[in-house]
Structure 1
Amino acid sequence: MTASNILETTDWSHLLHAHGTAEGAVPALKTLQGEDPDPMAEAVDVLEPYFLRQSTPYPATPAALRYVLAILAEWGAERAGDESLADVAEGLSIFVRNIGFLLRRCEEDLAGRAVDAQAAQRAREILDERAAAPDPAAGASASGSASAAGTPDGAGAAGAHAAPERGGPPAKGDDVWEALGELRDPLIYNAGLELMGLTSEVLDVFVPRVPRPNGRIDLETLDTVVPWLVLPGADDARTAVLAEVCDRLDGLDPADPRQREERRTLVQVLVDLKEDLSGLGEDEDPAVRALAAISRPEHEGAVPELVRALQRMTEEDPENVYGPTWTEIRDQADSAVIRVKAPLEALLPAALARIGASTGFLPDHDWLPLVTHGFPPSDGEVWERLLPETPSDAQIQVLAALADNPHQWDPGNEHAVAARSYLGLGSMSREELRALVDRHRAAGPGGRVTRVSRRAAARAAQSAQSAQAAPPTLPTPVVQPAPPTRTAQAVPPTQPTPPAQPTPPAQPAQFAPPTLPTPVVQPAPPTRTAQAAPPAQPTPPAQPAQFAPSALGPQPGPTGDASADGGAGPSHAERPARAPQP
């Protein structure tokens, strides 16, 4: 089906994007079939914020993807390489690639699900009901704002669509999402499933363009198609692309600096395709060695190689050693050593280098992920660690490095405060931590005892009290022997009956033991609510940004892949820089 047919036959009025029904996006989409690069570039700017806002698929996203694929197919490789359309072609490719990254992260969420046809039908009915209802605000808003679907007002193809993002008049489309209520989640899942079904169409357009006639590889096209090659149904295309990549890689000279960046790019592709690169662990290029370790971090020797790489990236010029994509390699290395739960002792060189070089900005994304496995978690609090009572040498070195860096103690830096609290330091001052470290170093491994944070102390006291079924039982008082009674005395010899005597006054009772004083009620240990609120906890290390449609459609998250194996991690947090074409 041609791009024009898709545009004309699609029922855009019953498809939703991030800001309402999608018929208002049709003029911008139609501009992509034009000849003028400037308005076409404006139209490209509509795609991400409306059809893939915050890495979320919408009911209109599959139709938009089909349309973009039809445009690229009609262009052909020749027009796609036209210099005047370079920005437009790149924008369209990025849109396709980011959808692939989204599906790669969400593959587990979508597995086993089926399209909810009832939710789709009910959504259509709600949209029809809203369209038939009179709009009392239509007259007041017609002159200066877009309609419920965001109809352009003549300010350019993308101008009307950008209005809500610029803080313009509120988009009525947001109200549509509110009206859908519980239908929002199944509609977004439906969109994800429909996009997954377009994998073969994406590969049909891009895979033939990966190899160049001169035996080289189109790296930009390869970059676009890689996330789609690991999705279900892509096995044949993946095999074909792997063969092209390996052939090209075998023909590159590791010693030739002119081929170094292309070689690194191709090795990164193999990592993304989950290939085992442990055979490149002795490569002369440090970037290739690091990528080989990332591909199989559980193999022997992989973690030491990754730690060396992370340390060098901190202490040396990383771009000179690892190339322009060194940040991507670093993020993948972080994710790899965290995923295999490497011990603190193994990560210590990289962790100390990171702490020493840190400016205190976002420590929870800098050095903190490398050390958290080395500090015990507190009971019931996943994101809190406790100061160990008998710290190891590695733990002491981490605390010493933290005490030595003044940027980690800026009282105005809430991130640094939260990071210290995360390690169990609580309100401990820098001087107190230094004194604690000095005491531990002087005591040696056998005599180290540290105090824990007040929160931890309160928790320990609370646990101790709850472990007791009842208050402490007082010792049983010793019963004093009762004084001998008259009847207990020896009976004297029988005497003549004396005259009756008056009854003696009653004696005070002496049989009961003396009453013990009431036990003093022990003060209850301080509870957590009695303490000052702890500093804000840091954002936990990055995990897999999974699309969760429980909120209004979009969920914040990165636009790239999460890690080399599709798991959680900071890899591809931003769009990786494209390697220069050879």
Structure 2
Amino acid sequence: MLIGLAALEGTDWTRLHHAYGRATDTPDHLRALLGENSEARKEALEHLWTAIIHQGTLFPATAPVARVIAGLLTDARLDRGESIRPELLAFLAAVPESLERVENDLAVLERQAAFDLEPFLDAEDIYEAIFENEDAVNSFGAQATLACIAAAPILMDAMLQAAADGDAICRMHASKGVVKFAKVESLRHRAAELESQLLALARETSNSDERSAYVLAVGELGYSPTTFLSDSSPAVRMCAALAPSLSTDERAIKELFTVLEAHAGDIDGWFAERPPQFSRRPRIYVVQRLIQQVRDFDRLANAAIAVARVTNKGSVEYEWGPLLIAAFPKRNGVIETDAQRRYLRALVENADLWDPKFGNASACFKRLNLPYDRDACARLVQTS
């Protein structure tokens, strides 16, 4: 299976499609990745994220493009100006992330892919032609998916090479990507091998950002990075405590409580380079894990109050809103416990959270039969 420039030149792009039509524009974008024109490189990266993988959807052009990029990762021309290698690694990691969304198993995909798409490929508007035929739609998606599954071993090996040879940021992105690939059915047997490699990398590096990424990767693989709950870095301890296999481990839960109660406003500062596993601010992941595992809001209250003091209006969907829902499980708008009162008071004291035009927060309060009105809530905590 060709990769790199050989794959670029050996692919008939006129028979492939991306989110916006025929992939005839894709080769020029791929060549631009190695060029000196910074604007063209920027447009090429945008093409990858909008046309080749569009909002998590795979297209027939996705696998060939990924194979090209896998072969370019070692090309020094990627480092002209600001290196784009980390973003290319992130793009490769998006392939297995998109595969995770595919609901059909391999047998169904192969059956769907057997439908002959050739008569549709010459249509002036291929998407109009395909979307009028359910079998064609299914085949179009199945063929794209199967091509990515077939390419997965080569893509994974390219990322492993990047983990061995790249700089710290590349190694962090590669560690995330190889774990995503290890979830592909044909590559699951490599999980134990990856665990050993990632643990070795985590033990060897003195960079806490990098160590955090490796620990998160080990956790996502399904293993327990228990040793790192005693790490000297609070960031690494937090990442270890977030491992799914430690979700009910009391020591890990205690660590996450400490993270919020003592450091809710400091967590972002723990990272010079945030691990790529955190697509949002790290505190959100801690909040979500504690809400999932700790059903007693009395126990959550101190952590919730610490978050309320440092959060912002836009985080209502991810942290202070879910905590409010956890505080009022009956959704009756009645303050029945001191923990509820203390948390609502903390929200009242944070002026940034109150905006009568902010529909997301208003909807959250409405679900709980609470008024999304700062003065009304202030009266409520005083009189209840």
TM-score normalized by the length of structure 2: 0.80
> Residue 297 of structure 2 is aligned with which of 334, 344, 357?
344
User: Where do 1:256-275 residues align within 5 Å?
Assistant: 259-275=207-223
Amino acid at match of 2:26: A
User: Where do 1:170-189 residues align within 5 Å?
Assistant: 175=128, 178-179=131-132, 183-189=136-142
CA distance in 2, matches of 1:85, 1:241: 32
Deviations, residues 325-356 of structure 1 (Å, cap 9, x unaligned): 38653233233223325421222112112223
Q: Secondary structure at the match of 1:206?
A: helix
Q: Partner of 2:196 in structure 1?
A: 243
Q: CA RMSD in A?
A: 3.6
Q: Partner of 1:335 in structure 2?
A: 288
- The percentage of aligned residue pairs carrying the same residue is 22
Q: Partner of 1:290 in structure 2?
A: 238
Amino acid at match of 1:93: L
1:307 partnered with 2:248: no
User: Where do 1:413-562 residues align within 5 Å?
Assistant: 413-426=358-371, 429-440=373-384
Q: Secondary structure at the match of 2:314?
A: coil
CA gap 1:85/1:238 in 2 versus in 1, 3 angstroms: farther
CA distance in 2, matches of 1:286, 1:297: 18
Q: Secondary structure at the match of 1:411?
A: coil
CA distance in 1, matches of 2:8, 2:203: 44
CA distance in 2, matches of 1:180, 1:25: 27
Determine if contact 1:120/1:187 at 8 Å carries over to the other structure.
Answer: no
Determine if contact 1:267/1:291 at 8 Å carries over to the other structure.
Answer: yes
Larger radius of gyration: 1
Residue 116 of structure 1 and its aligned partner are, at CA, apart by 5.0
Q: Secondary structure at the match of 1:276?
A: coil
CA distance in 2, matches of 1:251, 1:5: 36
Residue 299 of structure 1 and its aligned partner are, at CA, apart by 0.8
Q: Partner of 1:543 in structure 2?
A: none
Residue 420 of structure 1 and its aligned partner are, at CA, apart by 1.8
Residue 55 of structure 1 and its aligned partner are, at CA, apart by 1.7
Amino acid at match of 1:100: P
Deviations, residues 296-315 of structure 1 (Å, cap 9, x unaligned): 12111322321221234434
Matched length:
374
Deviations, residues 225-249 of structure 1 (Å, cap 9, x unaligned): 3322333233454444433332343
Determine if contact 1:114/1:193 at 8 Å carries over to the other structure.
Answer: no
Determine if contact 1:360/1:415 at 8 Å carries over to the other structure.
Answer: no
Deviations, residues 7-62 of structure 1 (Å, cap 9, x unaligned): 45545444321011223434434556x66565566444422211101121112212
Determine if contact 2:53/2:62 at 8 Å carries over to the other structure.
Answer: yes
CA gap 1:127/1:112 in 2 versus in 1, 3 angstroms: closer
CA distance in 2, matches of 1:343, 1:54: 37
CA distance in 2, matches of 1:357, 1:86: 33
Determine if contact 2:58/2:144 at 8 Å carries over to the other structure.
Answer: yes
CA distance in 2, matches of 1:405, 1:41: 39
1:106 partnered with 2:101: yes
Q: Partner of 2:345 in structure 1?
A: 400
1:87 partnered with 2:83: yes
Determine if contact 1:304/1:346 at 8 Å carries over to the other structure.
Answer: no
Q: Partner of 1:387 in structure 2?
A: 333
Deviations, residues 491-514 of structure 1 (Å, cap 9, x unaligned): xxxxxxxxxxxxxxxxxxxxxxxx
CA gap 1:17/1:180 in 2 versus in 1, 3 angstroms: farther
User: Where do 1:115-130 residues align within 5 Å?
Assistant: 115=109, 121-128=115-122, 130=123
CA distance in 1, matches of 2:355, 2:336: 25
Determine if contact 1:362/1:416 at 8 Å carries over to the other structure.
Answer: no
Moved more, 91-100 or 38-47: 38-47
CA distance in 1, matches of 2:379, 2:48: 57
Determine if contact 1:310/1:350 at 8 Å carries over to the other structure.
Answer: yes
Determine if contact 1:203/1:225 at 8 Å carries over to the other structure.
Answer: yes
CA distance in 2, matches of 1:337, 1:423: 20
> Residue 164 of structure 2 is aligned with which of 200, 211, 217?
211
CA distance in 2, matches of 1:225, 1:195: 14
Determine if contact 2:228/2:240 at 8 Å carries over to the other structure.
Answer: yes
Deviations, residues 184-240 of structure 1 (Å, cap 9, x unaligned): 3553244234312322111232324433599xx944543443322333233454444
CA gap 1:281/1:36 in 2 versus in 1, 3 angstroms: closer
Q: Which has the higher contact order (CA 8 A, sep 6+)?
A: 1
> Residue 228 of structure 2 is aligned with which of 272, 280, 284?
280
Structure 1 alignment gaps of length 5 or more: 132-171, 253-257, 378-384, 441-582
Q: Partner of 2:64 in structure 1?
A: 63
CA distance in 1, matches of 2:92, 2:166: 24
CA distance in 1, matches of 2:253, 2:83: 40
Residue 96 of structure 1 and its aligned partner are, at CA, apart by 0.9
Amino acid at match of 1:51: I
CA gap 1:110/1:345 in 2 versus in 1, 3 angstroms: farther
CA gap 1:434/1:95 in 2 versus in 1, 3 angstroms: closer
CA gap 1:422/1:304 in 2 versus in 1, 3 angstroms: farther
User: Which structure: greater helix fraction?
Assistant: 2
Amino acid at match of 1:124: E
Determine if contact 1:312/1:318 at 8 Å carries over to the other structure.
Answer: no
Determine if contact 2:58/2:145 at 8 Å carries over to the other structure.
Answer: yes
Determine if contact 1:355/1:367 at 8 Å carries over to the other structure.
Answer: yes
Residue 293 of structure 1 and its aligned partner are, at CA, apart by 1.6
1:229 partnered with 2:182: yes
CA gap 1:323/1:301 in 2 versus in 1, 3 angstroms: farther
Amino acid at match of 2:212: R
